[in-house]
Amino acid sequence: MKKRVFSMMICFALMFTLLLPNSVVDAKAKNSENDNSANSTIGMSNVRLDVTKIKTTNGTTVVYDPANGLYRSPKIFSGYYVDFEVSFSGKNLASSSDIENKLMAAKYFGSFNSVDNSNRPNADKQTDFYVTKAGEYASITIKNMRYSGVGKELVLPILQDDGTLISVPFSIPEEFFKVEPSTPPKPELEKPEIAVETPYVIISGYTYGNEENVTAGDKFTLNLQLRNTSQNIDVTNMILTIETPDSMILTNSSNTIHIPLLQANEAISKSMKVSVKPSSEAESQKITLKMNYQYIGNNERKSFDRVEVITVPVTQLDRFELTSVEIPEKSVDGEEILVTVNYVNKGRSQAFNLSAEIQGEFANPGQKKNLGNLASGATGSTDFYIRPSKTGVLSGEIVMVYEDTNAVEHEQKIQFNTNIEEKFVPENKFPNMPTDPMPEPKKSKWPIYLMVGGAVLVLVVVIVVVKKIRQKRREEEDADL
């Protein structure tokens, strides 16, 4: 019976040995198996591991570097990249280059690996190995080993002269991991865990073309620059939603943009085409940008939302016009001339703070008038009076200045001219004729009151005589009867 049990144990041991992949034998098992042989390889008491750097998931931001005195976060989280220096003593080690080749060919090293989550090499964060050997002592420098998040052990496959691989384990000190205490501390000694910082994604800059504003009815390219302000934490699975005002629409693009990864302190650019409606108000239009993204904090995946608002100044097409100047075709020297200028606002927005000034070759230039505001579609006019300073062609111009809704000043000019003739003076055809005025008629010597009195007396006499004649006729008629 004892012989059968012993035989079964030997069979199980042989089967277990044959099932080991790639002839990799655990270092402790190898030692116990060959303690008295000449091929004893690893002296486990001499195994040493040092963590020289810890980098975040982007592989570039260093959070732990004792050589430079940086101890900001001596913790290794899932996806972080770690640099190691390991050393051990042994016998029958292969050459340094052969050991490097075997290390480079491997992908998995216990709790660490040299590939990403998609089983691809670490790209620009390629894992590197440097092996130096002096006698029975080997030192290996390892850079950019990615932590899988499972376990706390680095296992290196070391090649021997006889072609066998030995698995050399290195335990990572507990201080580099978040370890829950086995017994809860006393309440008075309990310290609250510091929450990981929240990564903020901001719009660090934006442009909407080469001009200071955009014109209603036009299209422009909106360029956005997004930056992850965190120095340590990557942002993933980000959705950017663009909400435009009613006066604007996105053309040839969706209002949502997906950004798979925005690494710590990384900035990226996104652009889209925007069309401004012709009826848009001439003012600063607001565009709302909503951001939803995720990040890893305290070994947990968290979501965060942010909203930012940017403004784009919109102007209406400038269609203010000076339509005409009214002025006589010719005038006489020395006489004032009326000059009238007419204008119209054909634009969709109001024109503000109109002023008009007249300039030219006449005696009173520089006259200026403030005309207030002019509504969309309205017309107006203003008058100037000028005095010629010489005969011939009189030229001048009227300058009108106004502001649009964005307080941008505009200027328009219109010119005019007229002919100035000499004043007409008639010639004296009879030089010997006295030029004195005609003598006034002599005044009557009779006073005016005597003349009036005489006229009244004559009128009275006439009336009396007429009455007497009528009375006499009536008497004769009565006698005949």
The β-bridge relationship of strands 392-403 and 409-421 is antiparallel
Burial (CB < 10 A; 0-12, 13-18, 19+), residue 226, is buried
User: Of the ranges 3-12, 110-119, 381-390, which one carries the lowest mean pLDDT score?
Assistant: 3-12
Q: Which of 30-39, 185-194, 291-300, 401-410 has the lowest mean pLDDT?
A: 30-39
pLDDT tops 60 at residue 71: yes
Instruction: State yes or no: pLDDT of 204 exceeds 70.
Output: yes
SS3 content of the chain, % helix, strand, coil (to 5): 15, 45, 35
Please measure the distance between the N-terminal and C-terminal CA atoms of the chain and give it in whole angstroms. 207
Using CA atoms, how far apart are residues 126 and 119, in angstroms rounded to an integer? 13
Average pLDDT, integer, range 369-380: 92
DSSP 93: B
Distances (CA, A) of 388 to 146, 358, 368, 411: 92, 14, 18, 26
Q: Which helix (H) or strand (E) holds 344?
A: strand 337-345
**Percent of the chain whose pLDDT exceeds 70:** 76
What pLDDT, in 10s, does the model give residues 349-374?
A: 889 999 999 998 888 998 999 999 99
